[in-house]
Amino acid sequence: MNFVTPEIAWAPLAPILIVLVAASAAILIEAFIRTPATRRLVQLAVALVALVAALGTAAVQWALLDGAGTVVMDGMITVDRQALAWQSMILVFGVLGMILFAARTRAGEESFTPLGSTAPGSIEETLARRKGLQLTEVFPLGLFAVGGMMLFTSVTDYIFLFVALEVFSLPLYILVALSRRRRLLSQEGALKYFLLGAFSSAIFLFGAALVYGATAHTSYSAVAYAMELGGANDALLVTGAVMIVAGLLFKIGAVPFHSWTPDAYQGAPTPVTAFMAAATKAAATAALLRIMYTSLHPLEWELSWLFWAAAIASMALGTVLALVQTDVKRMLAYSSVAHAGFILVAFAGLEGEALSALPFYLLAYGLASIGAFAVVTQVRERTEDGSVGAEAVRLGQWAGLGKRSPLLAGAMSLFLLSFAGIPLTAGFVGKFEAFSAAIAGGGWPLVLIAVVASAVAAFFYVRLVVLMFLTDVPEGAEDDIAVEDSPLVRLVIWVTAVATVLLGILPAGALGLLEDAAVLLVSLGA
């Protein structure tokens, strides 16, 4: 057998490569710069420069793209407008996430533990804190996660997709475990997230192996081609396809693969939750979209029950469980499960509309998520000695926030209304587009359920708004809550709030761009 060196077109890969190279360089920085304060600034600068440079390169790619796109590395990666749209979205979430990672409280406290290896409450932990150690590894870990997610959206080969899946999942598992406050909760969330995540990627991998067995191919388009040609082993094929979809539904956080979502969201340091909520869902949706449209579409009928069942169960369970939560982060986590259901609704019938509706939906959802969790980082408990403590996450502690900080409460209300899909916010346009795509695909019963679920979900979003604005601060609890005003977090809140309003009032520009991106390049590369 001859080994032929593959020709690699480097230019279309540039955005991904920039991020991954910067991540590797950031690990070296970790080893060479000793002073924590300098290291933190350098790491932040490297991360932001790399992400912005990658965003610029992606924009140049978009402008220069001739025809539908480019197939790179023998069909392993496809760079078309759809992929570039998702990559840019993830980069934007990455930039916002990194800024949140770097934010500190007025007392100079970060969101991350000074030393991850110390046991919570131990002497070592106190020493590390007193010595001013800082965990700057979060920046390279975040960069690796962003790079892996970008790959995840553009890969067109099942086995390579598994590799990309792990490249972005492994850093996230670690990031979840690194909270500064409530560390037991954080580690427990990470353990659950890790075990269930590894379980689901093993399911995905076995599914990919079965599809390979049935068709002798692992490239998306070649698998579709082999299916259309016939002669593939049907039992293996359908089992494999169901397992592949199940593995991806886990990452999207749809019922019955949602059980990690509340634990990981609640346990993780809030900046990580913000980034993870927005970017993981976007990356997983992008990968599922590409697989369903370019590879498994001949099995659409066989798989539709899975999508319908997962969509209905996610919307129902997510909404009902969000209603009974008393923790803000957990409530937002269950609301993200419900949103996973809304996302799956758009897959009904695999209509072309979904190719522009889903990116818009995820953009609107991601911006609102990052904004909402950014607000959560700013509302803090006051400890008995008057210093500022952990985040105040109990719903009751948010009573009267509108009087304490009208700006934060107003921004939070905006994000909640966008989640609920109230007109003039980005969430409304996203839901409208997603549901139109589903109706075009004959999924009107799903849309009916989705509209009812949205109405019920609006109840718990509005409940928090009412709590913030119309409820008084409980007697004697006036000094229990401290509102932070970190400039970095304020910047993120402003950017996401303005974007949410702009996309809600003038969605035409973004929708027009995404309609250009509503083409998936299919090639028989392999």
Partner 1 sequence: MNPMNYVILASILFAIGSAAVLLRRNAIVAFMGVELMLNAANLSLVAFARIHDQLDGQVMAFFVMVVAAAEVVVGLAIIIAVFRARQSISLDEPAELKG
Q: Which residues bind partner 1 (CB under 8 A)?
A: 1, 116-117, 119-120, 159-160, 162-163, 166, 170, 173-174, 177, 183-185, 187-192, 194-195, 198-199, 202-203, 205-206, 208-210, 212-213, 216, 218, 262-263, 266-267, 321, 324-325, 330
- Would you say 72 or 161 has its CB closer to partner 1? 161
- Would you say 213 or 442 has its CB closer to partner 1? 213
DSSP assignment of 175-224, as one string? Answer: HHTTBSSSHHHHHHHHHHHHHHHHHHHHHHHHHHHHHHHHHS--BHHHHH
- Would you say 321 or 362 has its CB closer to partner 1? 321
- Given a contact cutoff of 8 angstroms between Cβ atoms, the answer to whether 221 and 524 are in contact is yes
CB of 181 to partner 1, least distance (A): 13
Q: Strand 379-382 relative to strand 388-391: parallel, antiparallel, unpaired? A: antiparallel
- Would you say 219 or 356 has its CB closer to partner 1? 219
User: What stretch of H or E contains 304?
Assistant: helix 300-323
CB of 211 to partner 1, least distance (A): 10
Q: Please report, for the chain, how many H helices and E strands are present, in that order.
A: 20, 5
- Would you say 119 or 127 has its CB closer to partner 1? 119
Helix, strand, coil percentages for the chain (3-state, nearest 5): 70, 5, 25
CB of 187 to partner 1, least distance (A): 5
CB of 206 to partner 1, least distance (A): 4
Long-range contacts of 188-195 (CB under 8 A, 24+ apart): 188/263, 188/267, 189/263, 189/264, 189/265, 189/266, 189/267, 189/268, 190/264, 190/267, 190/268, 192/259, 192/260, 192/263, 192/264, 193/260, 193/263, 193/264, 193/267
- Would you say 62 or 212 has its CB closer to partner 1? 212
Q: For the purposes of burial, counting CB atoms within 10 Å of the CB of 258, is it exposed (0-12), middle (13-18) or buried (19 or more)?
A: buried
Residue 77 has φ and ψ, to the nearest 5°, of: -125, 140
Q: Exposure pattern of 293-332 as b/e (b: 16+ CB <10 Å)?
A: bbbbebbbeebbebbbebbbbbbbbbbebbeebeebbbbb
DSSP assignment of 339-395, as one string? Answer: HHHHHHHTTGGG-TTHHHHHHHHHHHHHHHHHHHHHHHHHEEEE-TTS-EEEE--BG
- Would you say 257 or 361 has its CB closer to partner 1? 257
- Would you say 15 or 240 has its CB closer to partner 1? 240
CB of 171 to partner 1, least distance (A): 9
CB of 503 to partner 1, least distance (A): 33
Q: Strand 481-483 relative to strand 388-391: parallel, antiparallel, unpaired? A: unpaired
Q: For the purposes of burial, counting CB atoms within 10 Å of the CB of 424, is it exposed (0-12), middle (13-18) or buried (19 or more)?
A: middle
CB of 26 to partner 1, least distance (A): 18
Q: Which two tokens stand for residue 518?
A: 């509503």
- Would you say 116 or 389 has its CB closer to partner 1? 116
CA dist list (Å): 24 to 18, 115, 257, 373, 417? 10, 21, 32, 28, 40
CA distance 220 to 217: 8
- Would you say 330 or 380 has its CB closer to partner 1? 330
CA dist list (Å): 188 to 37, 178, 184, 262, 264? 29, 11, 6, 12, 8
CB of 218 to partner 1, least distance (A): 7
Greatest CA separation for the chain? 80
- Would you say 143 or 409 has its CB closer to partner 1? 143
- Would you say 206 or 494 has its CB closer to partner 1? 206
CB of 107 to partner 1, least distance (A): 25
